[in-house]
Structure 1
Amino acid sequence: MQRPILYVAITNHGFGHATRTASVAATIQKLCPEVLLIMVTTAPRWLLECYIEGDFIHRPRAFDLGVVQADSLNMDKDATLARLLEIKKQQNSLIASEVNFIRQNRVQLIFADIPFLAPLFAQKAGIPCWMMSNFGWDFIYRDWGGEFVAIADWISECYQKCDRLFRLPFHEPMPAFPHITDVGLTGGTPRYTAEAIRTIWGITAPPEKTILLTFGGLGLQQIPYDNLRHFPQWQFIVFDQSAPDLPNLIKINDRKFRPVDFMPICGKVISKPGYGTFSEATLLDIPLVTIPRDDFAEAAFLLEGLVNYNSHQIIQPEEFFQGNWDFLNQPLQPPQKTHPLAKDGNQAIAQAMINYLQEHKYK
């Protein structure tokens, strides 16, 4: 009897889409181990293995690019436009090769976050495409105007062929999608107890003086680490291997560990606006300190979600990059909404897909 086969296509941009999709894929695997996962992404296998404990097939393919970036905050729009025009030119051959793969492997359902060609693969292969995101790339590019408007129109047309969108919290309206199901927060859950993390990494400061600095897979070249000397009694945790060696800075160099594994021992997380970090910190009720990003349209919705649903501080870039980090001594703002967000996004999305795959097992 054939196993249910799920083709999971992930946007080729940083690590955030890969980790949040892998969190859902891992939940599918836990709830229904017979589902075979085909993870279609250029994200490294080790990153996926941080979330998915069982077997999966890794197919390294890119069908979109998000935004070409030097680091987590600096974007190259010209290079982004050139690459998008290249994808548009090649779309027929990209579709043909993937449809061939999908048919050969008897895939029953495509799940995508949120490469815009995925619904076209599904349509040609005669199977459904379900997607998940809090924004579409049409929204990001349209905001840039000029030549990006025509690109955004093309992408919106692709998204219109999506059979079902699981719309995550902190979302833009996503009007191109005809069938929307709103779901709760998604993300990874800590794999270790707080005690184990403290012991393994020698973390002795109390939570209110333990800070996680996380700026996504692209990192941030200009973190002003010099400021840490103002806080000798505090402990700071980073995943940035290029960070200097400082007595109160712990560099996490073991790929088994993820930012979410450290959140429970921290009083605050300092991050750029990003769905994955915002969602995981909000799932765990860990306060967030962040910097606005006026050049990335998604950021306004992330910040609004943060203000509504988590304890927070929004600091100006100059406070972070040029200041002395006195903001660490300032009080946090409480969430503005009293009712919390639903936290069952992984389970809701996973169960819907399992139900579909089981219903269509013998078809």
Structure 2
Amino acid sequence: MHGQHLLITISGHGLGHLSQASAVINSLSSRHPRIKLSIRSSLATTVLQEWISPTFTHYCVEDDIGMRMTSALDVDLNASEAAYAALHDQWDLKVEALATWLRRQHVTHVLTDVAYLPLAAAQYAAIPSAVICSLNWAEVIERYFSSEQAKCWNVQARQAYQQAKAFIQPAPSMPMLWLDNRLPVAPIGRVGRCQREALIARLALPANCYIVLVGMGGMALSLSARHWANELHGRSVHYLLPDSQLAAIKDGGVLAPYFHAASHADLMYHDLMASVDLMITKPGYGTFVEAAATGLPLLFVARDDWPDSDSLVQWIEKVGLSAQISRDALADGKFSCEMEHLLNQERYPAISPSGADQAADYLVSFLDD
């Protein structure tokens, strides 16, 4: 595989795309460390480097829209529609321009998670392309927009996905039955190592406390935690939150002693997930799979409008231990009963997220083309 140049595009819409793509990149690189890797993503280089082991060249570009969000749960429809209109404006010229760029960079293969413009450009340039993701933006467009213009966006997206050599679907995925190039694989995610003792020592927590991690897949969500339970079953409850959320939950400018910055744990996030008792989150691929990979119970906020939410929720209900609450319940702190129930259960058997190796096995043959 000497001389091959693989370009990977990774969506910046949350961290689920990065969790999928990075695991596959790392697995592929362990097989063929001499492959030249380039990454196009709007994510920061430092974020990519935390997840991706091999050396790569980063082009900070937004190739896909996803959906513009005002919070982890709220879609900004007007901004999203404007962004898609801009993306598809002079579509053919953009496809040709990116195809020219791919040739100039001597790219030999393209893999996306899950932008479709680079797929269309690769196909225009006769460069082999593949996709890996649990969702696709064509169905997201179809879910949120109904204009004639949006129907054209949908057609262009579907054509790009359909013409790729394979659409690798890590479980749990949207069905995507309209694709005839689907390649299902096992779940993809990292497996954390329990470092509970180190976590307790670093945050000076009581030895027998419950530790609850709060995270929304790398996106912000306004929280009012004044009424969250700080004791259950006679044990104190301590919450770990992203730094960006701590200011929002201060009461009169003071942070309650049972709230802590997750960054102060000084652990990789998947190790942090393996070290806590419960996680409060939203339906998201990376969080659900990496929780199931360590047997971590989940208390998640309903997200009925998001297209792949059903597939995620149905899957975690089969393999894990979880409870769903409303957004109002989260805001009002009315979820103590659900927490109590989940914390009263034994940790469930962890799943094996072997999909990255399966995807890498396919990509070895893909790169031989």
Same fold (TM over 0.5): yes
Cα gap change, 1:333 to 1:132, in 2 (>3 Å): farther
Matched residue, 2:341? 330
Larger mean Cα displacement after TM superposition, 95-104 or 251-260: 251-260
Aligned 8 A contact 2:229 2:333 in 1:
no
* Alpha-carbon distance between aligned partners in 1 of 2:132 and 2:183, rounded to the nearest angstrom: 9
2:91 partner letter: Q
Matched residue, 2:31? 31
- Segments of 5+ residues of structure 1 without an aligned counterpart are none
Aligned 8 A contact 2:230 2:237 in 1:
no
RMSD of the alignment, in Å?
2.7
Cα gap change, 1:105 to 1:199, in 2 (>3 Å): farther
Cα gap change, 1:249 to 1:239, in 2 (>3 Å): same
* Alpha-carbon distance between aligned partners in 2 of 1:262 and 1:322, rounded to the nearest angstrom: 26
Matched residue, 1:288? 298
Aligned-residue sequence identity (percent) comes to 20
Matched residue, 1:42? 42
* Alpha-carbon distance between aligned partners in 2 of 1:265 and 1:204, rounded to the nearest angstrom: 14
Question: Secondary structure at the residue paired with 1:241?
Answer: helix
* Alpha-carbon distance between aligned partners in 1 of 2:273 and 2:151, rounded to the nearest angstrom: 39
Cα gap change, 1:77 to 1:205, in 2 (>3 Å): farther
Question: Secondary structure at the residue paired with 1:226?
Answer: coil
Aligned 8 A contact 1:12 1:63 in 2:
no
Aligned 8 A contact 1:50 1:257 in 2:
no
Larger mean Cα displacement after TM superposition, 89-98 or 77-86: 89-98
Q: CA deviation at 1:274?
A: 0.6
Question: Secondary structure at the residue paired with 1:216?
Answer: coil
Is 1:318 aligned with 2:321? no
Q: CA deviation at 1:57?
A: 0.6
Matched residue, 2:219? 218
Question: Secondary structure at the residue paired with 2:98?
Answer: helix
Larger mean Cα displacement after TM superposition, 234-243 or 255-264: 255-264
Matched residue, 2:69? 69
Cα gap change, 1:257 to 1:185, in 2 (>3 Å): same
Question: Secondary structure at the residue paired with 1:224?
Answer: coil
Q: CA deviation at 1:23?
A: 2.4
Aligned 8 A contact 1:241 1:253 in 2:
no
Q: CA deviation at 1:154?
A: 2.9
1:349 partner letter: A
Q: CA deviation at 1:272?
A: 0.7
Aligned 8 A contact 1:219 1:240 in 2:
no
Aligned 8 A contact 1:311 1:333 in 2:
no
* Alpha-carbon distance between aligned partners in 2 of 1:191 and 1:351, rounded to the nearest angstrom: 25
Aligned 8 A contact 2:173 2:311 in 1:
yes
1:83 partner letter: A
- Normalising by structure 1, report the TM-score: 0.88
1:218 partner letter: M
* Alpha-carbon distance between aligned partners in 2 of 1:312 and 1:141, rounded to the nearest angstrom: 29
* Alpha-carbon distance between aligned partners in 2 of 1:121 and 1:229, rounded to the nearest angstrom: 52
Q: CA deviation at 1:342?
A: 5.3
Aligned residues: 355
Question: Secondary structure at the residue paired with 1:143?
Answer: helix
- Normalising by structure 2, report the TM-score: 0.87
2:238 partner letter: Q
Larger mean Cα displacement after TM superposition, 140-149 or 192-201: 192-201
* Alpha-carbon distance between aligned partners in 2 of 1:258 and 1:70, rounded to the nearest angstrom: 27
Aligned 8 A contact 1:170 1:301 in 2:
yes
* Alpha-carbon distance between aligned partners in 2 of 1:290 and 1:164, rounded to the nearest angstrom: 32
- Segments of 5+ residues of structure 2 without an aligned counterpart are none
